[in-house]
């Protein structure tokens, strides 16, 4: 069965043959031109299954003008889809270089050529072509979407913000979530450079774009911690549970640090108790058990496990109850506990809600599907079905 490429190869010589036949019907035999030797050579290549050589010949024979440009564009796109980027580049560069080509076709060729460069990873040339199209007001939606992709790959977040703002105007739709993530990337870079003030400004800008941005609240809390403003950091971290309760696990460690720095451990315990009644997440139950006496911790986790199966909570229950186990059960339970610890140590902690990608580190842009803020904490690692 022929694919689209094979069909294209067959149609080109067939079309030429039909044209030659029709000419022979209307011209006297003595005036019929001899078949083009290059064309016959292309057919020979095709018969010998040398499709690459055949296509080179047919492209050379197909004169570029406003009537045939669509064929060239289709062939170039076909090459790119097949992964033959060099051929696609050659076709589209040839079109762009034609001085007699209609303006609209030249711009379409520029767009296709930019996509070829994107496919080849030559981002600077692709960017230049997209910017040319924007200057002429052509293919703005496609050009801006590709520019955003380029700036994301280059981690040029300020230009990504600028391109997204322009894209919002062209499309007439807002992109608050993506803009907030770009601002968070700038905040991350500032924190890495130990510039807490700038990080705080970017985090607040992200929250201005998207009030529900969990990452911005976490970064705001981290920046405030770095400046020593633990009270404000507590407010930022506690905001997370209202934005997305699944991320409360990300705030437990930072909140404990802040409450201890403020000498308010009792408020930390009260917060955990409040969350334990509102959240069924095992991380909250385990955190409260760790702040309780061993006996109270065992009772808390035993009560939780009686209604909610959780390997995470069961693992901690075994740790708390190690000394109380009967001698006959101590050895087999220790073996089981070791296996459980090993399982939990390698189990994914985060999963993308869009494509299912998972891992032990959170990626605010999923490495697989490239969606922003689609990865969330797994409620219970290795949770039994």
3-state secondary structure of 97: coil
Q: For the domain covering 178-279, report its CATH number.
A: 1.25.40.10
* Gap between the Cα atoms of 99 and 320, Å rounded: 80
The residue ranges of every structural domain in the chain are 4-171, 178-279, 281-346, 347-385
3-state secondary structure of 377: strand
Fold of 4-171: 1.25.40
Q: Do domains 4-171 and 178-279 have the same CATH topology?
A: yes
**Tens of pLDDT along 102-150?**
888 889 999 999 999 999 999 999 999 999 999 999 999 999 999 999 9
Structural element, H or E, at residue 100 = none
**Tens of pLDDT along 86-104?**
888 988 888 888 878 788 8
* Gap between the Cα atoms of 25 and 220, Å rounded: 81
Interior angle at CA 66, CA 60 and CA 67, nearest 5: 75
**Tens of pLDDT along 276-330?**
988 888 999 999 999 999 889 989 999 999 988 888 898 888 888 765 666 666 6
- Which residue do the tokens 């067959």 mark? 10
**Tens of pLDDT along 26-44?**
445 555 455 556 556 655 6
H helices of 48-195, where? 51-61, 69-81, 85-96, 103-120, 123-135, 140-153, 157-171, 176-192
* Gap between the Cα atoms of 350 and 164, Å rounded: 28
Q: Sort strands 375-377 and 350-352 into parallel, antiparallel or unpaired.
A: antiparallel
249 and 228 Cβ atoms separated by less than 8 Å: no
């Amino acid at each position: 069965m022929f694919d689209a490429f094979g069909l294209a190869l067959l149609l080109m010589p067939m079309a030429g043959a039909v044209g030659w036949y029709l000419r022979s019907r209307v011209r006297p035999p003595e005036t019929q031109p001899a078949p083009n030797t290059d064309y016959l050579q292309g057919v020979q290549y095709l018969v010998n299954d040398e499709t690459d050589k055949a296509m080179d010949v047919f492209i050379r024979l197909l004169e570029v003008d406003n009537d045939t440009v669509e064929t060239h564009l289709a062939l170039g796109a076909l090459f790119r889809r097949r992964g033959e980027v060099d051929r696609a580049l050659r076709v589209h560069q040839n079109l762009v270089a034609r001085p007699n080509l209609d303006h609209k076709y030249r711009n379409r060729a520029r767009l296709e050529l930019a996509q070829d460069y994107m496919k080849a990873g030559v981002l600077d040339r692709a960017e230049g072509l997209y910017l040319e199209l924007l200057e002429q007001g052509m293919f703005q939606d496609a050009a801006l979407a590709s520019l955003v992709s380029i700036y994301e790959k280059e981690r040029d977040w300020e230009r990504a913000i600028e391109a997204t703002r322009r894209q919002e105007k062209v499309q007439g739709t807002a992109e608050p979530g993506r803009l907030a993530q770009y601002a968070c990337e700038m905040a991350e870079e500032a924190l890495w450079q130990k510039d807490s003030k700038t990080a705080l400004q970017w985090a607040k800008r992200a929250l201005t774009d998207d009030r529900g941005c969990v990452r911005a609240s976490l970064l705001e809390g981290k920046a405030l911690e770095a400046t020593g403003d633990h009270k404000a950091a507590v407010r930022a971290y506690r905001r997370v549970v209202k934005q997305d309760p699944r991320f409360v696990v990300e705030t437990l460690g930072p909140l404990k640090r802040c409450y201890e720095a403020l000498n308010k451990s009792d408020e930390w315990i009260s917060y955990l108790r409040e969350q334990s009644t509102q959240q069924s997440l095992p991380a909250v139950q385990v955190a409260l058990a760790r702040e309780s006496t061993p006996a109270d911790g065992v009772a808390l986790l035993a009560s939780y496990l009686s209604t909610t199966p959780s390997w995470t909570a069961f693992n901690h229950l075994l740790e708390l109850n190690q000394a109380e186990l009967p001698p006959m059960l101590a050895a087999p339970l220790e073996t089981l506990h070791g296996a459980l610890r090993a399982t939990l140590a390698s189990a994914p902690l985060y999963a993308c809600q869009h494509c299912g990608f998972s891992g032990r580190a959170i990626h605010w842009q999923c490495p697989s599907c490239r969606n922003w803020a689609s990865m969330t904490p797994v409620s219970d690692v290795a949770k039994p079905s």
